[in-house]
Structure 1
């Protein structure tokens, strides 16, 4: 049994998501609920902000985020304005904003630098 870094509850190892908080920090493990909670704010990353000044938020639904996290893949964040327009099905506005607003993909665990 392993312990979630967030809620401190014990879980089978296979049920926990391992991450370095997208920053190459020490690896920690989270249950699904705690991982989603942390991922929603980029694990406290203040630099997840669009050039327009708006916060960047998860660009996938919870199920997809968890699936990607468990596979140690990339999770995408996009300007809140673009995500909100897409959720409102205002696709013309989304298309207009695509080039002006930022998005970023972050690895659940940062790959090691090949340059060192």
Structure 2
């Protein structure tokens, strides 16, 4: 049991450390959150965990204070339709266009 807890903890920290590795993020200057709102469709895939998914899209809704509500949806080959809700926050106050998304509703997680 201790082994499983250790593995789970290490995997959890790996995701956090991956975000921390993105030190050089070149973002759009004069970024305005309200211009980013709407539905965005996936055109390029670089995350291996989404290999069995298609029709992926994200809906961003501005909720003030520089953050956005996120609704991610798609179709998984085996599990069918899925959706996740989250909150997008700027990674750094100096870079308002570089977001980290914190998913809060993973009830439909694959």
Report the TM-score, using the length of structure 1 for normalisation.
Answer: 0.31
* Structure ranking higher on relative contact order (CA contacts 8 Å, 6+ apart): 1
Which protein is richer in helix relative to its size? 1
